[in-house]
Structure 1
Amino acid sequence: MEQDEIQKSKSTFHSSETSTISTFLLATFLIGVTGALQFPVMSVFLKDHVSLPKVNPFFIGEAESVSEFWIGAFFFLNAFFGIIIAQFIGTVSDKAGDRKRIIILGCIFAFLQCILFAFSREYWTLLILGIVLASIGGTVHAQLFAMAREFTVKRGKSSDLFTSTMRAGISLAWVLGPPVAFFMIYNYSFTSLYLVSAIGILIPLVLIYLYLPNSPVVHVKKKPEASEKVDMNLTILLLMTACTLLSSANGMYLITIPLYVIETLALSENLPGIMMGFVAGVEIPFIILVGLISNKMSKRTILIGCAVCAVIFYALIILATEPWHLIASQLFNAIFIGLLASIGIIYFQELMPNQAGSATTLFMNAGRLGSLLSGAAFAVIVQFWGYMGIFYAAGVFSLIALVCLCLIKHGSSNVKQTA
């Protein structure tokens, strides 16, 4: 009888653990799909479907189309306020937060943002309300990754492979998202696109509510020496700079490439979606492979390879004139994005083991800082050098990031293990 109770208890535990793991993976994938449906077409949405009323001190005048400057401003301001809100939520969640409640709140705000974009076409409304909704909604992935790390640490397992698997789920979402997004906007409407995205948020919201446990923050015991703190701060600064620059280069590319392919090269309207989907599909095996070998290789070396691929990719984009040129160059883009996304977040978490939420959010904020820089750069560079100037700037950013990574000391990633 007692043996049966023990067996039943073990069965219940494993069933609960399986449900939790499945929820982490499915929620990450579905929320990734909603992002992959929206972001690739945002510059097209703003330029071709949103109106910008002329504002003066006395009245709002007739609307005009949104210029490249205001497109860049939109990305810049969303990133700016997103950084502030995400870092605040990450810090609070590390100290006393129940991550499940924060994730559910973020999903609700992300849902409301989709509804807003489905029905509003006025620039200032989308900017002001969208900043609030998107900034809070944008914290969901960071909190999911932090919660997943704590879930694996609590069970005495390595979080590297699980984190990489979750990141592969986001890549899978980007295999489907961009091609579907470009198909929907040119065959149906942006309203349909954002309503589908809203449904894509509701499903993981329900799953998270039902299956993710309410769990307190887990802290890993660690007492680094003063000298290690200084080295870690320097390492984190260089790593943060490199990730920000690489993210900025990628952000500039993503904002520009749909407009460049459709307007400048006059190629198929579906080609940008195919390119982005191809990248995501190719990067998945790299993400999984890196997850398997990340404990055996220097993370610094892997990220240096990431930056090298970025430099090569932007050089190829500058030279590309045909569809097959653009698609073939995506191989280097896939390696670059896959390595940055999988190893970057693991490296930050490794250097900050007592602050899983802050470490994860710091990596996410490197992306947001990159978005901030990319929005500002797009607004300015396109005015003087056109879309091609963006690709040159992305190449320069990647080269500077490569230098920053080379300046990180060998063995920095093992500080926590030798403390």
Structure 2
Amino acid sequence: MRFEVLRGDSGVYFWLNGLSAMAFSFILPVMSLFLIEGLGIEPMYIGLYTVGTAVSTILISQGLGRLADKGVDSKILLLTSVLFLCLAAICFYYLTQFWQAIIVGWCFMAFGASSVPLLLAMIRRFAEQSGKDSTKLNSQMRSSVSLVWIVGPALAFTSVDTFGFRTNFLMAGGIALLVFIMAWRLLPSAVKSARKTNVHDAIPPFPYKVWFLGVGILFANMANSTYINAMPLFVTKELDLPVSYPGMFMGLTAALEIPVMLLSASWSHRVGKMQLMMVSFAVAMVFYIGIQYASTVEWLLALQFVNGLFYGIFVGLGITLLQDSAPKRVGQVSAFYTNAMSVGTMCGTSLMGFVAQHYGFRNSVYISLVAVVISFGIFLAVHLNESRQAKLSEIQHPL
């Protein structure tokens, strides 16, 4: 049935996912600008806020994911996280000093960001309980985030430019409050089913496959983050194109990745999730090599189709691959996925700045190429190991 994802229980998760992303899109893109212009700090201190908040988010999200896997009601955990996101936005509305921003970021925003993996875990459990295809459902839910991020950051900067930072944060808090009310009224309690499956049964440790795939995802997102941060600078400074062009390229990629994301579920049933992810990494290699030779707007526009294919498959299948590898630890695996993505973003951003300072913005995209080659190698090694074990199993236990 067409647009089934927008209705019923699936629709609740779809809109919650999209509105949560909208709340974050009014905070995260403008944060560095707020710290510098709103609070008057020096750029070097942005890293203190960003890294501290990211580390705190990793610790808190893993802890909340473990609680969910042990049987604590995921709905209560999600409501708590969203409430902290709302409180963070209100605090940003009032604060005037950098040390206050540090406290809000490291504490409130860290709890608020933990709502993302909690919602991903709830979506996976909903798919299992309702008999839906988890790969397809995850791709559909992730598409709501991509839709929001096409317009969200632009609306945030427009809001800051027109009304100021305070009004922008107030709108973010209002959206977070709406998410809280919707989750409270529309989501079912998960405590009974969670206790039945998670408290009385021992929770197994992370399989080695999860760790390896998580590292592969980290490097792939590091590649994307490096490009995202370097592209606006080499387009405007080295190619001398107008400032509006980077936004056009990013918007085109975001628009292209959505249909790819939705199609990736059916593609994966034909060729396999691991194989399709490796195809996406190979496509990414073509893209990052192509960027080194791009010199015209037409070339850059054409390359965005390649980038959309890579990133659509990558974000459409990544979370499902990890959840499939540890089905009894969905909460922690979902947190591990979002944390791997966050660490990849931090590493990519940091390395891009270092390489760009010495070798130029375009050459920093070589980091992306190396990182995605590493991701391909890790996934290939895991795939070959699984194939070898399957053949050994057939030999030892023939039909």
TM range (shorter): 0.7 to 0.9
- Normalising by structure 1, what TM-score? 0.79
Query: 1:168 — aligned with what?
Result: 143
Q: Out of 156, 181, 186, which is 1:181 matched to?
A: 156
Change (3 A) 1:300 1:19: closer
2:296 and 2:48 map into 1 onto residues whose CA distance is 31
1:110 and 1:173 map into 2 onto residues whose CA distance is 18
Secondary structure of residue in 1 paired with 2:364: helix
In the alignment, structure 1 segments of 5+ residues that lack a partner are: 1-16, 53-64, 222-228
Query: 2:224 — aligned with what?
Result: 250
Asked whether 1:66 is paired with 2:43, we answer: yes
Q: Give the Å deviation of 1:258.
A: 4.7
Query: 2:14 — aligned with what?
Result: 25
Asked whether 1:193 is paired with 2:168, we answer: yes
Residue 84 of structure 2 contacts residue 111 of structure 2 at CA under 8 Å; is this kept in 1?
A: yes
1:414 and 1:197 map into 2 onto residues whose CA distance is 50
1:242 and 1:167 map into 2 onto residues whose CA distance is 19
Q: Give the Å deviation of 1:18.
A: 5.4
Query: 2:320 — aligned with what?
Result: 346
1:77-129 deviation line (CA, Å, top 9, x unaligned): 32222111111111111102111111111111112222334454644432332
**Where in structure 2 are the equivalents of 1:45-194 lying within 5 Å?**
45-46=34-35, 49-52=38-41, 65-67=42-44, 70-120=45-95, 122-194=97-169
Change (3 A) 1:316 1:284: same
Q: Give the Å deviation of 1:336.
A: 2.0
Query: 2:24 — aligned with what?
Result: 35
Residue 40 of structure 1 contacts residue 255 of structure 1 at CA under 8 Å; is this kept in 2?
A: no
Q: Give the Å deviation of 1:316.
A: 3.5
1:129 and 1:378 map into 2 onto residues whose CA distance is 27
Q: Give the Å deviation of 1:403.
A: 1.5
Residue 216 of structure 2 contacts residue 379 of structure 2 at CA under 8 Å; is this kept in 1?
A: yes
In the alignment, structure 2 segments of 5+ residues that lack a partner are: 1-5, 199-203
**Where in structure 2 are the equivalents of 1:158-307 lying within 5 Å?**
158-216=133-191, 217-218=193-194, 233-258=207-232, 261=235, 267-307=241-281
1:119 and 1:248 map into 2 onto residues whose CA distance is 34
Change (3 A) 1:269 1:389: same
1:161-205 deviation line (CA, Å, top 9, x unaligned): 221111111111122223333444445534343332222212221
2:63 and 2:176 map into 1 onto residues whose CA distance is 23
RMSD between superposed Cα atoms in Å: 3.3
Amino acid at match of 2:123: A
2:161 and 2:26 map into 1 onto residues whose CA distance is 13
Query: 1:6 — aligned with what?
Result: none
Q: Out of 330, 335, 342, which is 1:368 matched to?
A: 342
Secondary structure of residue in 2 paired with 1:409: helix
Count of residues in correspondence between the two structures: 380
Moved more, 263-272 or 303-312: 263-272
Amino acid at match of 2:43: V
**Where in structure 2 are the equivalents of 1:11-22 lying within 5 Å?**
19-22=8-11
Change (3 A) 1:251 1:353: same
1:190 and 1:179 map into 2 onto residues whose CA distance is 14
2:36 and 2:295 map into 1 onto residues whose CA distance is 23
Change (3 A) 1:274 1:194: farther
1:400 and 1:72 map into 2 onto residues whose CA distance is 26
1:244 and 1:110 map into 2 onto residues whose CA distance is 25
2:89 and 2:301 map into 1 onto residues whose CA distance is 30
1:45-79 deviation line (CA, Å, top 9, x unaligned): 55555422xxxxxxxxxxxx314xx4444433322
2:61 and 2:215 map into 1 onto residues whose CA distance is 18
Query: 2:372 — aligned with what?
Result: 398
Identity across the alignment (%): 25
Amino acid at match of 1:362: F
1:141-177 deviation line (CA, Å, top 9, x unaligned): 2111211221221233332222111111111112222
Q: Out of 358, 361, 382, which is 2:332 matched to?
A: 358
Residue 164 of structure 1 contacts residue 287 of structure 1 at CA under 8 Å; is this kept in 2?
A: yes
Change (3 A) 1:46 1:304: farther
Residue 207 of structure 2 contacts residue 326 of structure 2 at CA under 8 Å; is this kept in 1?
A: no
Q: Give the Å deviation of 1:24.
A: 0.7
Secondary structure of residue in 1 paired with 2:270: coil
2:132 and 2:160 map into 1 onto residues whose CA distance is 43
1:356-404 deviation line (CA, Å, top 9, x unaligned): 1122122112112213323442454455445445322222211211221
1:165 and 1:47 map into 2 onto residues whose CA distance is 37
Change (3 A) 1:82 1:187: same
Secondary structure of residue in 2 paired with 1:136: helix
Asked whether 1:336 is paired with 2:310, we answer: yes
2:319 and 2:225 map into 1 onto residues whose CA distance is 18
Secondary structure of residue in 1 paired with 2:345: helix
Q: Give the Å deviation of 1:412.
A: 3.7
Amino acid at match of 2:74: R
Residue 239 of structure 2 contacts residue 295 of structure 2 at CA under 8 Å; is this kept in 1?
A: yes
Q: Give the Å deviation of 1:279.
A: 1.8
Moved more, 293-302 or 384-393: 384-393
Residue 72 of structure 1 contacts residue 378 of structure 1 at CA under 8 Å; is this kept in 2?
A: no
Q: Give the Å deviation of 1:239.
A: 1.0
Residue 267 of structure 2 contacts residue 276 of structure 2 at CA under 8 Å; is this kept in 1?
A: no
Change (3 A) 1:177 1:262: farther
2:150 and 2:231 map into 1 onto residues whose CA distance is 17
